[in-house]
Structure 1
Amino acid sequence: MTNESLVDWYEWGPEAFASARDRDAPLAVFLTAPWCTWCDRMEREGFGSPMIAANVSEAFVPVRVDADREPAVRERYQMGGFPSLVFLTPDGRLVTGATYLDPEGLRSVVERVREVWTERGAETGRVPRALQDPDPPRGALDDRVEAHMAGQLEDSFDEQFAGWGTDAKFPLPRTVEFALKRDRQRALRTLDAVAGNLADPDGGFYRYATTRDWSDPHYERLLDENAALLRAFANAYLHTGDEQYRDVAENAVGYLTTTLWTDSDEETTDGGVTAETEPTGAFAGSQSGEDDYFERPVDDRGDADAPHVDATAFADRNALAVDALLWYHAYTDDDTARRYAATALDTVLDTLESDGVVAHHDGGPTFLIGDQARPCGALTTAAQVLGDERYVDAARRVADRTVETLFVDGSLLDSPPADDALGLLDRPLRPIDTTVEFADALVDLAVLTGEERYRETARESLEAFAGARDRMGVDVAGYATAAARVVDRPLTIEVTSDAGSDLHRAALRVADHEKVVVPGATVDGDPEDGDAPFARITANGTHATATTPAELQRRVPELN
């Protein structure tokens, strides 16, 4: 056994599938990720075995896929975790698959699949159920969605250890945010558990805990998951004013802007940007989670090499980081968060976006729903917080191309239909999570632009899943948030003064993280002093105006 794979892997592409057809051999597709220590272990110990490597190369067409770089492949073929090893027919149908296998388990599976293929050939392949009939259960969008999810918050909550569920504990930041407005104590108890068990003392958050009591964490740290938790803690601070939530968020900001920051030549940095200089670059995708490093006391880590950081700048993950950092800045005036967020957003627009089409990474696939939805959301947030009209223009551009290409028969596809797609990539998926993110961005964009068509598209895309509302669990609570923002319309605060004014900053700090703030707005019905800036508040179909931050904070509760 060697320390590295002995398999000569193909990349996911036409050459691998052509080889499988020519040889009439199945493909062995190894889905891995740069942050996944178990992936590395299986590759070294399993595929580093000369006997196993020879059997794989002889009987299969071996394909190695970086799941972070190929999300469409990941969504169709992963076996519920990483690593995933899947065996496919030459046309891409699934034969069988598994997650991590030790060398003996891998040897046994390889031999068994080889025997089955010899006996039955391509007839062993099947199309997974999720791809057989992908049409979602359409229904009416109404307040029953929110009511059902509010009930689920209580029914599924772990009263002993906090969080939702009784097995492995995932932070579920979107669920926390839904609960912050509707079941705050359960939301805060969950954030307290996350802070105590998944927040690294050096900043940032581990992925999840393998046990009900939040112990035995998986230490890998992904940009998107860290960004989502940063925003959840920032929103908890917004609602409570409790400094402990700000402190956790601040530590996450420090992690994102140092360990996960990359300069323009894709080298990670140690945060060498001063207050007098502007950062350049974007956020790295992830950091791997070696147990030997993270189980050390912080003071002892200096003697060890820090775990590997994947410096790839992914559009969707950077967008989530931009969104979270800008809201943290909005609540705290933290300038580091603002500068890094603005730089990363400009990097995405300058290097990955063209005419509304966003690439997943430099040279990567385009028109994936996550890379359209999340940057659109980051742009609407930037328009609210920073007030630059170019962000509204860019959000409109991305939204329009997304609707034009991915909005088909009233629902959103994860990627464009293509006759030449490889394997099962020609079969569409209609993902609920990214549909929610795009719908949220469209609701914001409707308010920012005054164009009702964006809200109607948001409604229709969410209605595609409304028929399943009674079967939804807390893991998709973000759907209920988006539905509520469409059905009831969010609290809207239009401020006639520019971004950064006292009145605008006060509007951003109104304790409702589902609101929309419009800086530099042109508003009819000015107060008596027509020269003074004011804010128009719209909630529940009624309006009020305020001319000072104190009056604004007082008037909002009167309308809700």
Structure 2
Amino acid sequence: MTDESLVEWREWGTAAFAEAQDRDVPLLGFLTAPWCTWCDRMETEGFGSPMIAANVAEGFVPVRVDADRHPAVRERYQMGGFPSTVFLTPDGRLLSGATYLDPEGLRSVVERVREMWEERGSDAGRVPRALRDPDPPRGALDDRIESHMAGQLEVSFDEQYGGWGTEAKFPLARTVEFALKRDRTRALQTLDAVAGHLADPDGGFYRYATNRDWSEPHYERLLDENAALVRAFANAYLHTGDERYRDVADDAISYLTTTLWARDTDVGGTTDLAGAFAGSQAGEESYFEQPPEDRPDGSPGVDETVFADRNGLTVEALLWYHAYTDDAVAREYARTALHTVLDTLEREGTVAHHEGGPEGLLTDQARLFRALTTAAQVLGGGRYVDAAVRVADRTLDTLFVGGTFLDGPADDEALGLLDRPLRPIDTTVEVADALVDLAGLTGEERYREVARESLEAFAGARDRMGVDVAGYASAVSRVVSRPLTVEVTSEAGSDLHRAALRIADHEKVVVPNATLDGETGDDDGPLACVTLHGERALADTPAELQRRVSELN
């Protein structure tokens, strides 16, 4: 056994697939990630075995894939976790696969797949069901979708430990946010469990817990999952005013703006800050299992890759935190990261996943789009609306096909199963939410109609939906009932605008610097117009604005 892999890895690309065709052997794909300690363990212990490495070299074309940098490969080939070891025909169909394998398990699987190939060859390859029949069941949108999901919150909830489910516990930030408006007690119980078990004492959140009682966490810390929880805790503070939730969010933001701040990127924004947020930090058990005072010098490694989708989600979270608290640090880091991504990864509405990476993927388009609509609401300024329109229109032109959003642009020359589109519900929800925001910001109903059509694509399966896709029900509610909308005639940052942002409804839309035809306030001062359930009311002070919202609810 050695302390490193002995396999001569190829990169995912045409050369590896051509080699597999020429040799008439399968590909062995090893999907890993910079934050994945079990990936490192399998690579050194399993692929560091001379016997296993020799078998791989003789019978396969080995391809190592950074799943963070190749999300389209990840979505089609990962086996439910990382690492993922997948065996493919030379044209990319699936032969077999598994997650982590110890050396003996890996040796056994390698031998079994070689035997399968010798007996059946390419005939053993298959296309996963999600790619064979990718069209979701279309249906009408109505309030039964929200009602069904509210029922699922109760049915699936773990009353003893908090969270949903009775096995491994994931934070499910979007589920928490759906529950904050509809089942607040369970939402807060879950956040309390997350704060008690997944929040690191030095800030930031671990990915998930292995056990039902939130014990034995996986310590890796990913930017997007931390950002989603920052937003959830910030929204809990908005709804409750409880400083505990603000404090947890603040600790996580301190982690994001220090450990996960990538300073060596191009300068963005107009402040002294430069850079954007790094992708992840590895979860080394020997480090994180120790109390902070006993941890060794030198924290686990950080992947400083700036990903557009993860930065978009982080910008959104920090801007909402700033909106609720006036925290200037969150605002400036969010603004700087947003400008950096716009300056370095976005061109004419097309967003690159990372510098030099794949372009036009739905996850990057959606999350940058949502960051821009949030910036328009919180910071104001025409630049953000213009950029949101640019990204939205390019997304609709390239990825909205047959009434659904594809996860990436069509490419007949794509390798393996990448030529088969996926229609992801979670990312569709993110686009739909941003489209609803943009409709409110611009007054263009076409964006709301696209949101409706894209969500209708999944409505036929509403009775089978579980709490893991609760964000879908939130987005449907915003389309069916229309969100609370507050148009404010003053600039962003005014007392009236700040009061609008702090209305206890995180699904609202706030439009600063709005024009209200024929409406004026006392002494021609700033005015807010509240629209909810088809009714409108005017207010010219923060206190009156709160009263008007209460009257319409």
Amino acid at match of 1:408: V
Amino acid at match of 2:375: A
Equivalent residue for 1:545? 538
Q: How does 1:517-536 map to 2 (within 5 A)?
A: 517-527=510-520, 529=522, 531-536=524-529
Equivalent residue for 1:330? 323
Could you tell me how far 1:525 is from its partner in structure 2? Answer: 3.6
Q: How does 1:131-210 map to 2 (within 5 A)?
A: 131-210=131-210
Q: How does 1:106-505 map to 2 (within 5 A)?
A: 106-265=106-265, 278-301=272-295, 303-505=296-498
- Could you report, residue by residue, the CA deviation over 1:118-165 in whole angstroms, capped at 9, with x for unpaired residues? 111111100011100101100001111101001111111001111000
- Could you report, residue by residue, the CA deviation over 1:414-467 in whole angstroms, capped at 9, with x for unpaired residues? 011111000000001000000000000000000001100000000000000000
Could you tell me how far 1:265 is from its partner in structure 2? Answer: 4.3
Please state whether the residue corresponding to 1:96 is helix, strand or coil: strand
Could you tell me how far 1:531 is from its partner in structure 2? Answer: 1.5
Amino acid at match of 1:450: G
**Structure 1 residues 264, 304: CA separation in 2 closer, same or farther (over 3 Å shift)?**
closer
Structure 1 CA distance for aligned equivalents of residues 156 and 254 of structure 2: 33
Structure 2 CA distance for aligned equivalents of residues 214 and 261 of structure 1: 28
Equivalent residue for 1:21? 21
**Does structure 2 conserve the Cα–Cα contact (< 8 Å) formed by 1:527 and 1:545?**
no
Amino acid at match of 2:419: D
Equivalent residue for 1:516? 509
**Does structure 2 conserve the Cα–Cα contact (< 8 Å) formed by 1:278 and 1:339?**
no
Could you tell me how far 1:388 is from its partner in structure 2? Answer: 1.3
Equivalent residue for 2:47? 47
**Does structure 2 conserve the Cα–Cα contact (< 8 Å) formed by 1:293 and 1:304?**
no
Query: Superposition RMSD on alpha carbons, in Å?
Result: 1.1
Please state whether the residue corresponding to 2:473 is helix, strand or coil: helix
Equivalent residue for 1:11? 11
Q: Does 1:558 align with 2:551?
A: yes
Amino acid at match of 2:90: P
TM norm structure 2: 0.99
Could you tell me how far 1:277 is from its partner in structure 2? Answer: 6.2
- Could you report, residue by residue, the CA deviation over 1:154-178 in whole angstroms, capped at 9, with x for unpaired residues? 1110011110000000000000000
Could you tell me how far 1:541 is from its partner in structure 2? Answer: 0.3
Equivalent residue for 2:97? 97
Amino acid at match of 2:287: Y
For structure 1, which segment, 443-452 or 528-537, has the greater mean C-alpha deviation from structure 2 after superposition? 528-537
- Specify every segment of 5 or more residues in structure 1 that has no aligned partner in the other structure, as ranges: 268-275
**Structure 1 residues 292, 55: CA separation in 2 closer, same or farther (over 3 Å shift)?**
same
**Does structure 2 conserve the Cα–Cα contact (< 8 Å) formed by 1:266 and 1:312?**
no
Amino acid at match of 1:347: T
**Structure 1 residues 91, 528: CA separation in 2 closer, same or farther (over 3 Å shift)?**
closer
User: Aligned pair count?
Assistant: 551
Could you tell me how far 1:529 is from its partner in structure 2? Answer: 2.8
Could you tell me how far 1:556 is from its partner in structure 2? Answer: 0.5
Could you tell me how far 1:264 is from its partner in structure 2? Answer: 2.8
Structure 2 CA distance for aligned equivalents of residues 230 and 193 of structure 1: 15
Equivalent residue for 2:85? 85
Please state whether the residue corresponding to 1:248 is helix, strand or coil: helix
- Could you report, residue by residue, the CA deviation over 1:347-380 in whole angstroms, capped at 9, with x for unpaired residues? 1100000000000000000111000000000000
Structure 1 CA distance for aligned equivalents of residues 338 and 264 of structure 2: 13
Structure 2 CA distance for aligned equivalents of residues 87 and 278 of structure 1: 49
Please state whether the residue corresponding to 1:153 is helix, strand or coil: helix
**Does structure 1 conserve the Cα–Cα contact (< 8 Å) formed by 2:265 and 2:276?**
no
TM norm structure 1: 0.97
Could you tell me how far 1:258 is from its partner in structure 2? Answer: 0.3
Q: Percent identity?
A: 78
Could you tell me how far 1:468 is from its partner in structure 2? Answer: 0.3
Could you tell me how far 1:527 is from its partner in structure 2? Answer: 3.7
Amino acid at match of 1:51: M
**Does structure 2 conserve the Cα–Cα contact (< 8 Å) formed by 1:266 and 1:311?**
no
Could you tell me how far 1:116 is from its partner in structure 2? Answer: 1.0
Could you tell me how far 1:278 is from its partner in structure 2? Answer: 2.3
Amino acid at match of 1:253: I
**Does structure 1 conserve the Cα–Cα contact (< 8 Å) formed by 2:522 and 2:540?**
no
Please state whether the residue corresponding to 2:306 is helix, strand or coil: coil
**Does structure 1 conserve the Cα–Cα contact (< 8 Å) formed by 2:176 and 2:187?**
yes
**Structure 1 residues 509, 426: CA separation in 2 closer, same or farther (over 3 Å shift)?**
same
Structure 2 CA distance for aligned equivalents of residues 319 and 58 of structure 1: 44
Could you tell me how far 1:502 is from its partner in structure 2? Answer: 0.5
Equivalent residue for 1:270? none
